[in-house]
Amino acid sequence: MRSTEQRLAGIRGGVPPRRHNARTIAALTGNPGCTRRAVLDSAGVDKTRLAERIGFPARFGQSRFAITRGNAFEAQLKADGGTELLRLVAERLGVPVPESASWTDLGDGADDTRHDLAARQQRSRDRLLAAVPSPEADTAALFDHPLLGLDVAGQRVHLEPDLVAARLAGRWHVVEIKSFPVIDGQADPAKVAAAAIQSAVYVLALRDLLTAAGHDPGLVGTDVVLVCPRDFGNQPVASLVDVRKQLLVLRRQLDRMARIDTLLAGVPEDFTADPQADPATLTAALTRVDARYAPECLATCELAYFCRHETRGQTGALGRPVREALGGVATAAEALALAAGERAPEPEQAEAAALLRAAAQLRADALSGHPG
């Protein structure tokens, strides 16, 4: 019997686990019932490569125009030691705007080696803990690019968020800068939701940091400050987003992944998702781990096109409401056979079958021009 760590390494192949960022951790909370995804993510498999390898590439490209715009907006806000940012955040939180604030860039000299990462994280940790809000330390302080850590599936994951942690009025506040516009006080709900769950990851990591050092995790506010361009221009506007709900969801999914042993118990011993392996082997291996595909996966999961192909013919692939409207019958062929009366329903399908037969009759009548 191999240890969990060994098994996960075996699944991943001979490569180090793929590094998570807030975006990938946030994506974990979508479709929590999917075992395939939980196992692959826990093992840190490079799903983008895996999907390409098996012939179902993901389509999550990012336009360079969007990246340029995002960087420019962020640079504009952080200019002059974040004076503008500080004013916006303080005003939104309803606290007096401090005359000045200390600005610490914890992302300095980023050199992407593992050793440096650990050192940088230690530095982030020390600086943030030294600055824990207290009656003595209640001046305004901004920390840019803190390197945070989070335990995901028993592994320490480093997060390098594009975030500013602001110490203001005796608390830490997570400040997230996004380049989508807020027009007349409204923004794209999908983008706000994505930003909220990402921010929740940072709140969680900051709280874990405080808890581990024996501080009150409540010192990190659950109202995240989202800074976006206002209307059609470049002027920033700050809004508060309450992420308490997202924190709960995140906590629950991380706990579930922490119990990865239970999940692995149901996975074949020789299961592998090593992108080096032969595509046919990979496809065969993947089909042996349960997935729970829903059309919503297309927007979040790199493997979605594969899962969609695999579930072709199933009513669930048409969307959960379709499956429910068909009385929970699993495949389209079965639903049609029940509707045509060509197949005897299982006892628990009796009600659904009656409904489907009536529906098929009504449809046929209406389409043939006989209204009943």
Q: Counting contacts by CB under 8 A, is residue 183 touching another protein?
A: yes
The two three-digit tokens of residue 57, written as one number = 């590439």
Closest CA relative to residue 159, chosen from 22, 254, 29: 22
State which of residues 62, 99, 135, 269 lies at the interface with another protein (CB under 8 A).
62
Which of the ranges 22-30, 134-142, 218-226, 361-369 carries the binding residues for another protein, by CB under 8 A?
A: 361-369
- Compute the least distance from the CB of residue 307 to another protein, in Å: 13
Distance separating alpha carbons of residues 210 and 206, to the nearest angstrom: 6
372 interacts with another protein by CB under 8 A = yes
| By the rule CB under 8 A, 213 interacts with another protein | no
Check residue 332 for interaction with another protein (CB under 8 A).
yes
Contact pattern for another protein over residues 70 through 109, marking x by CB under 8 A? x---------------------------------------
Q: Position of tokens 């021009």?
A: 369
Q: Binder to another protein among 339, 345, 349, 353 (CB under 8 A)?
A: 339
Amino acid letter, 43? A
Give the C-alpha separation, 316 to 100, whole Å.
Answer: 56
The answer to whether 359 touches 339, Cβ cutoff 8 Å, is yes
Q: Is 136 in the site for another protein (CB under 8 A)?
A: no
CA-CA distance, 299 to 251, in Å (whole number)? 22
User: What's the min distance (Å) between Cβ of 144 and another protein?
Assistant: 22
Does 181 sit near another protein (CB under 8 A)?
Answer: yes
**Interacting positions 27-56 with another protein (CB under 8 A):** none
Q: Which of 327, 345, 349, 353 binds another protein (CB under 8 A)?
A: 327
Beta strand 148-152 with 223-229 is unpaired
- The continuous run of DSSP H or E covering 329 comes out as none
Paired residues of 142 in beta bridges: 103, 166
Interface mask toward another protein for 235-254; x: CB under 8 A: x-------------------
Query: How far apart are the C-alpha atoms of 85 and 306, rounded to whole Å?
Result: 43
Q: Which of 69, 87, 191, 215 binds another protein (CB under 8 A)?
A: 69
**Alpha helical stretches, state H, the chain:** 4-12, 22-28, 35-43, 47-53, 64-93, 114-130, 189-212, 244-258, 260-265, 279-287, 304-310, 320-325, 332-339, 350-367
Q: How far is the CB of 133 from another protein (least distance, A)?
A: 34
360 binds another protein (CB under 8 A): yes
Residues that bind another protein (CB under 8 A): 59, 61-70, 179-181, 183-185, 229-235, 295-296, 298-299, 312-313, 315, 317-319, 321-327, 332-333, 335-336, 339, 355-356, 358-360, 362-363, 365-367, 369, 371-372
